[in-house]
């Protein structure tokens, strides 16, 4: 596997004409930004997780898959995970990325057969909890209710935001929004820039943006020329949030 360290910037840079430059109007993107991060941290964990065993998942390992029918949520302790599905034409589609402190698998609440899947993006520790157990705890401690509702509501918000972008934005703008979302969820400050501390292939980014990998390659280089992004010497993305926000707005 080739690491993308210091990705080769071709000397003959192609014309920018391909990627539309005109500023798109901004989305009613809803302030979904901060995501599910850590919603379940604290009280929720204290009430549900003690005396349960953690499971380790290696990079690329499937936590649960489309078609599974056990109804369990997974409380992520450590690591990054992608949540998505496999489309009818066989391609992967990524809805969301979550990390330690988040939950995945909430869709099993109203379906027996899972429509979605979660895959570890890197070494991940998670505690599986049967859905019924979660409900039981919330019934006994009604102060946790708000948090449970919040988890679903935020996910719903994000899903709608995704529909919005798909309806109005072109590839470059959607890529921007994906990068900003990643920054909000798993970004780490690195001076005035924000680093995405996980290596994501262009293919994976494409699955989040909903576009072909080739377009992502072109769009990423477009953003690099615009100084909106760069790579660290570890091959990670380094984002200029200000610039990205301006462009995506």
**Residues that bind DNA in the complex, under the rule CB under 7 A:** 1-10, 12-14, 18-20, 170-172, 201-203, 210-215, 217-218, 220-221
Among the residue ranges 11-19, 138-146, 182-190, 233-241, the one whose residues contact its own copies (CB under 8 A): 138-146
Q: With CB cut-offs between 5 and 8 Å by kind, which of DNA, its own copies, none does residue 150 bind? A: its own copies
Query: What does the CA dihedral 158, 241, 84, 81 come to, rounded to 10 degrees?
Result: -120
- Nearest distance, CB of residue 166 and its own copies, angstroms: 5
Cβ proximity to DNA, 7 vs 101, nearer residue: 7
Whole-number Å distance between alpha carbons of 44 and 149: 13
Rg of the chain, C-alpha, whole Å: 19
Among 16, 70, 111, 214, binds its own copies (CB under 8 A): 111
CB neighbour list of residue 6: distance below 8 Å, 6 or more residues apart: 231, 233, 235
Query: What does the CA dihedral 51, 120, 161, 242 come to, rounded to 10 degrees?
Result: 110
Q: With CB cut-offs between 5 and 8 Å by kind, which of its own copies, DNA, none does residue 7 bind? A: DNA
- Nearest distance, CB of residue 41 and DNA, angstroms: 32
Q: Three-state SS for 159?
A: helix
Q: With CB cut-offs between 5 and 8 Å by kind, which of DNA, its own copies, none does residue 13 bind? A: DNA
- Nearest distance, CB of residue 211 and its own copies, angstroms: 9
- Nearest distance, CB of residue 226 and its own copies, angstroms: 21
Contact in structure between 181 and 174 (CB atoms under 8 Å): no
Whole-number Å distance between alpha carbons of 135 and 148: 9
């Amino acid at each position: 596997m080739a690491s993308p360290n210091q990705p080769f910037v071709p000397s003959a840079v192609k014309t920018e004409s391909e990627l539309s430059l005109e500023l798109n109007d901004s989305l009613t993107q809803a302030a979904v930004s901060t995501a599910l991060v850590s919603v379940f941290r604290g009280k929720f964990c204290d009430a549900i997780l003690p005396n349960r065993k953690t499971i380790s998942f290696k990079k690329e390992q499937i936590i649960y898959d489309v078609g599974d029918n056990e109804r369990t949520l997974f409380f992520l302790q450590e690591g990054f995970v992608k949540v998505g599905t496999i489309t009818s034409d066989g391609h992967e589609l990524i809805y969301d990325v979550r990390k330690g402190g988040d939950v995945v698998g909430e869709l099993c609440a109203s379906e027996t057969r899972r429509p979605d899947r979660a895959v570890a993006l890197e070494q991940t520790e998670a505690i599986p909890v049967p859905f019924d157990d979660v409900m039981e705890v919330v019934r006994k401690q009604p102060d946790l209710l708000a948090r449970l509702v919040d988890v679903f509501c935020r996910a719903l918000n994000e899903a709608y935001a995704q529909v919005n972008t798909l309806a109005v934005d072109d590839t470059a703008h959607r890529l921007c929004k994906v990068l900003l979302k990643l920054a909000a969820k798993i970004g780490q400050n690195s001076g005035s820039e924000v680093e995405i501390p996980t290596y994501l292939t262009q293919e994976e980014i494409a699955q989040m943006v909903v576009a072909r990998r080739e377009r992502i390659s072109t769009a990423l280089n477009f953003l690099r020329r615009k100084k909106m992004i760069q790579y660290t010497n570890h091959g990670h993305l380094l984002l200029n949030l200000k610039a990205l926000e301006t462009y995506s707005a």
